[in-house]
Structures are given as C-alpha cells and as structure tokens.
C-alpha cells in the first residue's frame, strides 16, 4: 500500500482555512522562492497579506502579477478587479501603531486559491519545475504560447534555413527569454552572416538553476541530439548565492540550492514519521497557535506584557532551523562538507570564498564551452546586471522595496566582492576558443529612469530585460556568426 506524502502546499491550504495566516505567509514565501512561476501561489499570497492586515503588500503583489501576464496564464481581469478593490478601500486605521486594521470577509471554503506543487524530483536535473501548465515545455521550462520549444528536443524542418539559439541560466535568464526572445530573433535575423535564415530562440533556463545544473542541462540536450547554433549563458548571482548558501548549510557547493533540497528532505521524511521532522513542524505550529490566540484576543491581557513579540521572535528562530537530515536511510543523498558561516567572515576571508566559488563556476562554464565546440555551436556568456552595482540611484519605489527586504547587506557584499572574481575569470573562459564571447551587460540599467525591480532578489521588470536583449543584439552585430 502506498503512503501519500504530506506536501507543504497542502498544509498552506489547510492553515489558510484555519486562519493561521502568518504561517501561511512563511510557507508560501518558501514555496514561491523555489517555484517562481506558480501564479496561484502568488494569488493566494495576496489574500494572506490582506488577512494579515497588510493591504499595501497585497496590492503590490497583485501589480507584480501583471508583469507575468505576457508569459504565464495570469487571469488579468481577476487581478485588475482585486487591484481596483484594494485601491478603492480608502484610508485605514492603525492597530497598536504598526499594522493596519481592515474589515475583511471570512474566507469561503470554495473560494480559496489552490496551490500547485510546481517542482519534482529528477534523476538528472535535481528539482526542476514540472510542466503543469500550457506555459511550460515538456521539460518544465517556461515557454509562452506560440513560441517554439514547447516540445524538446526541437527539430528544425530544414536545419540549413534555421539558426537556433538556446538560452541557459536561472530565473533572470528565463525572464530574459520570455520577454526578449523576439528582440533577439529579429535582431539576429538582420545579421549579414545569417543571410535571411529564420532565427529560433529556445528556453533552457529555469528558476534557481546554478552550475553545474546548467552544464548538466546542456550535456543532456546535446546527448539527445538537440541542434544549437548558439548558446547564450546568463548567470551571476545564483552561482554566488547558491554556492554560499550551500556551504552555510554544510552542503557541497555543487549540489542544488540547499533551500530547495532541505525542504524536499523534510517532505520525504514526513511519511516515515521522522522524529526530527515531525518535531520541527509541531514546534512551529505550537508557536502559531499561541500567537493566534494572542492576536485574536482570546487572552488579550497577555499581549500587553510583550509576550506576542517574544513568541514571534521564538517562532522565527524555530522556523529557520529546518531539519538537517543526515541519517543514512534518508531518501535524498546530499554530498556534505564542513559548514561555512559566511556572515562571520571578514572581507579577506569572504573574498577567498568568492574566488573558490568563481573557480568552480569557471570549470563548469569551460565544460559548457567544450560541449559547444564539439557541437559546432557559438558560445556567448553574460553576467546579468545587479542593481547594487549601479552608479545612479534607484527609483524611490525600488529603494522602498529594498528597505523592507531582509539580508540586503549580505547580498550587496556578495555582489561587490563576488562579481569581480567572476569577471577576472571570464577572459580565461572566452580566450579558450575563437567562437566564445563575453557580452557585457552590467551597465545596461544605468540609462533607465524608471522602476526596474520586480523584487529584492534582483528580478527585473521587462524594461530591464529588454535593455539586456538590445545589448546582446548590438554586441553580436559586430561578431562573426559562422564557424567557417
């Protein structure tokens, strides 16, 4: 008899119905971080924000959803209706000086957005997005309706009349494909070397990918016969942050991001009644029950004693301490190393860590280049731009977003000390072959006098992605696009 695993999205829905909104918020953030294109989860997060008394957060989240509309199945009418409703609710009163009080309808049993599990285990790729919607290819890459590459490998009708470009990388590269593929196709089609060939752009990028997952995807598709005339590899922050996060958890830097693997480890252990995992979930739920009682007024006099904030701090610490399963019978086997707490490193030690990560990144990228050389494929590498490297100030809206986001000091440090390490090794990568190129994109945001950020993780709005696309076309217009 099969045992059905308890999934985090299922817990979210149950907790939502029980009005445990704070726990819903934290679980949804974890889920969306690993499943960025899960629209229903983002819709539910807005509902959770409202019930937490955070209408501004809900409104901003709905507005951000509209940015996905060109590429994903967003119910635009529904989102616009919610935006109009929130904008029309008028002034709000303050509750205890720090949270707005709103009159909200009770959730209906049949009106709750359902959360879909958007990632699965893969024997080769780790934890890829599962093709649950019409906006995914058969390998889980986001591909807008009408674009080529819905079924991979893509087989051209006449290889001599098509020039096939593959985009590789993480979530920023995936967004780049979604919003810029037409710019690339039209721009390259005008290149004299292509002589009117039809340019087809395919997506092999996915949220949370880092090396060597990108390398593994290229090797896999090369092995099953995917023709590629050009590979565009866009990376940067995922490799720095993913490797640093892994080491912080004692995972080898080559493993998939620990934030994802630790969640899947915990979920796998639930059906086995693993004591540590069950204790973790029960501890978090116990704090939430006490906090809910205090905030709903069941025992209001205790709130005046400051117990609510104390329990919230304790709950945060408990939720952050995800189970670290090292038992030999765990179904998920992670290569482990001695943990490195990067927040305790001085600048010299941190720079050395960035150099080690950059060396690992270089080895993986070189192997991608070697595969391209064997396939007769032009290789183009870019580091995606990051707002902390900009010389001009960000817009007020972007600045306000970053102010409320945790961990920004560490992100800025990582980019400031890590990007130079990657750039120092870029020449070693591209000098290895005449048809390997580095297209600089780090400065493309400087001339944009508008909001550029979707979130504090550095995901860009279409205006920033389009600037990256135009830079790529401009760079390639001066390069030879044939191998002969």
The backbone torsions φ and ψ at residue 112, rounded to the nearest 5 degrees and listed phi first, read: -85, 130
What's the pLDDT tens digit per position in 365-380? 999 999 999 999 999 9
**Residue 194 near residue 481 (C-beta atoms within 8 A):** yes
CATH number at residue 55: 1.25.40.10
Q: Cα(330)–Cα(467) distance, rounded to whole angstroms? A: 46
What count of Cα atoms within 13 Å lies in the side-chain half-sphere of residue 176?
Answer: 33
Chain-centroid distance of CA 17 in Å reads: 28
Same domain, 88 and 170: no
Report the range out of 94-98, 341-345, 376-380 with the highest average pLDDT. 376-380
Query: What's the chain's Rg over C-alpha atoms?
Result: 24
Angle between helices 55-68 and 76-87 (to 10 degrees): 150
Residue 443 lies in a domain: yes
3-state DSSP helix/strand/coil percent for the chain, to nearest 5?
A: 50, 10, 40
Instruction: State yes or no: pLDDT of 383 exceeds 90.
Output: yes
**Residue 185 near residue 175 (C-beta atoms within 8 A):** no
Give the per-residue pLDDT at 345.
96
Is 182 or 11 the better-scoring residue by pLDDT? 182
**Residue 172 near residue 384 (C-beta atoms within 8 A):** yes
Chain-centroid distance of CA 10 in Å reads: 21
Residue 376 lies in a domain: yes
* Integer CA distances (angstroms), 195 to 163, 191, 330, 482, in order: 10, 7, 56, 11
Same domain, 80 and 218: no
Give the per-residue pLDDT at 327.
55
Domain count, the chain: 2
Same domain, 211 and 351: yes
Same domain, 90 and 237: no
| 3: helix, strand or coil | coil
For range 91-113, the mean pLDDT: 37
Report the range out of 65-69, 398-402, 415-419 with the highest average pLDDT. 415-419
Give the per-residue pLDDT at 113.
37
Q: Cα(14)–Cα(120) distance, rounded to whole angstroms? A: 22
* Integer CA distances (angstroms), 272 to 27, 119, 165, 267, 269, in order: 21, 21, 45, 10, 5
Q: Of 87, 118, 149, which one is at a domain's C-terminal end?
A: 118
Same domain, 456 and 374: yes
Question: Which residue intervals of 376-477 are DSSP H helices?
Answer: 396-403, 408-430, 462-476
Give the per-residue pLDDT at 289.
76
For range 95-121, the mean pLDDT: 44
Q: Cα(401)–Cα(384) distance, rounded to whole angstroms? A: 20
What's the pLDDT tens digit per position in 433-479? 999 999 999 999 999 999 999 988 899 999 999 999 999 999 999 99
Instruction: State yes or no: pLDDT of 104 exceeds 50.
Output: no
For range 112-134, the mean pLDDT: 73
Same domain, 176 and 80: no
Q: Of 118, 147, 178, which one is at a domain's C-terminal end?
A: 118
Residue 306 lies in a domain: no
What count of Cα atoms within 13 Å lies in the side-chain half-sphere of residue 107?
Answer: 22
Interior angle at CA 269, CA 9 and CA 211, nearest 5: 75
Q: Cα(102)–Cα(81) distance, rounded to whole angstroms? A: 18
Averaged pLDDT of the chain: 83
Give the per-residue pLDDT at 304.
47
Q: Cα(353)–Cα(409) distance, rounded to whole angstroms? A: 17
Same domain, 95 and 167: no
Is 182 or 17 the better-scoring residue by pLDDT? 182
Structure tokens at 102: 């709103």
Largest CA distance in the chain: 81
Structure tokens at 293: 């009682």
Same domain, 95 and 164: no
pTM of structure: 0.70
Q: Containing domain of residue 401, as a range?
A: 159-256+341-476
Give the per-residue pLDDT at 6.
40
| CB contact set of 148 (below 8 Å; sequence gap of 6+) | 154, 200, 201, 202
Same domain, 187 and 66: no
* Integer CA distances (angstroms), 427 to 48, 85, 235, 333, 434, in order: 48, 53, 16, 36, 12
Residue 331 lies in a domain: no
Same domain, 11 and 94: yes
| CB contact set of 52 (below 8 Å; sequence gap of 6+) | 21, 22, 25, 99
Residue 201 lies in a domain: yes
Give the per-residue pLDDT at 330.
67
DSSP states along 220-240: HHHHTT---SEEEEEESHHHH
Count of C-beta atoms within a 10 Å radius of residue 342: 17
Q: Of 66, 87, 118, which one is at a domain's C-terminal end?
A: 118
Same domain, 192 and 95: no
Residue 439 lies in a domain: yes
Instruction: State yes or no: pLDDT of 275 exceeds 80.
Output: no
CATH number at residue 451: 3.40.50.1110
Question: Which residue intervals of 20-159 are DSSP H helices?
Answer: 21-34, 39-51, 55-68, 76-87
Give the per-residue pLDDT at 375.
97
Give the per-residue pLDDT at 93.
33
Give the per-residue pLDDT at 186.
96
Scan for tokens 């540590």, then name that residue: 276
For range 139-147, the mean pLDDT: 91
Same domain, 209 and 355: yes
Residue 299 lies in a domain: no
What's the pLDDT tens digit per position in 44-89? 888 888 888 788 788 888 887 777 666 667 787 788 788 878 777 6
Residue 359 lies in a domain: yes
């Amino acid at each position: 008899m099969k045992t059905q695993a308890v999934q985090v999205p299922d817990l979210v829905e149950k907790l939502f119905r029980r009005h445990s909104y704070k726990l819903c918020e934290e679980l949804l953030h974890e889920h969306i971080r690993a499943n960025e294109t899960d629209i229903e989860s983002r819709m539910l997060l807005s509902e959770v924000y409202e019930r937490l008394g955070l209408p501004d957060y809900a409104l901003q989240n709905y507005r951000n959803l509209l940015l996905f509309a060109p590429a994903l199945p967003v119910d635009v009418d529904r989102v616009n209706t919610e935006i109009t409703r929130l904008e029309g609710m008028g002034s709000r009163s303050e509750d205890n000086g720090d949270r707005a009080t709103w009159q909200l309808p009770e959730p209906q049993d049949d009106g709750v957005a359902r959360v879909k599990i958007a990632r699965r285990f893969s024997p080769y790729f780790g934890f890829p997005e599962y093709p649950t919607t019409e906006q995914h290819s058969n390998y889980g890459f986001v591909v807008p309706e009408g674009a080529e590459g819905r079924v991979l490998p893509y087989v051209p009708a006449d290889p001599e009349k098509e020039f096939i470009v593959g985009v590789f990388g993480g979530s920023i590269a995936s967004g780049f494909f979604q919003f810029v593929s037409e710019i690339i196709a039209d721009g390259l089609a005008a290149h004299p070397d292509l002589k009117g060939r039809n340019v087809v752009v395919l997506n092999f990028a996915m949220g949370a990918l880092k090396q060597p997952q990108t390398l593994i995807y290229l090797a896999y598709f090369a092995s099953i016969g995917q023709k590629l005339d050009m590979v565009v590899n866009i990376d940067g922050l995922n490799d720095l942050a993913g490797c640093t996060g892994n080491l912080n958890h004692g995972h080898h830097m080559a493993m998939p991001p620990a934030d994802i693997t630790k969640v899947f480890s915990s979920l796998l252990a639930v059906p086995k009644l693993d004591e540590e995992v069950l204790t973790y979930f029960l501890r978090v739920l116990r704090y939430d029950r006490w906090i809910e009682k205090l905030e709903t007024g069941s025992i209001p006099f205790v709130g005046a004693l400051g117990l609510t904030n104390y329990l919230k701090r304790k709950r945060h610490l408990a939720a952050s301490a995800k189970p670290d399963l090292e038992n030999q019978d765990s179904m998920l086997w992670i290569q482990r190393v001695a943990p490195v707490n990067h927040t305790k490193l001085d600048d010299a030690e941190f720079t050395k860590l960035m150099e080690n990560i950059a060396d690992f990144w270089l080895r993986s990228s070189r192997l991608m280049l070697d595969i391209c050389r064997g396939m007769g494929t032009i290789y183009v590498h870019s580091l995606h731009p990051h707002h902390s490297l900009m010389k001009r100030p960000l817009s007020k809206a972007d600045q306000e977003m970053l102010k409320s986001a945790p961990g920004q000091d560490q992100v800025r440090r990582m980019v400031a000390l890590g990007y130079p390490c990657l750039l120092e090794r870029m020449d070693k990568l591209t000098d290895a072959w005449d048809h390997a190129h580095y297209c600089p994109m780090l400065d493309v945001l400087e001339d944009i006098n508008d909001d550029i950020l979707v979130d504090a993780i550095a995901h860009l709005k279409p205006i920033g992605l389009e600037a990256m696309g135009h830079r790529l076309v401009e760079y390639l217009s001066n390069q030879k696009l044939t191998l002969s």
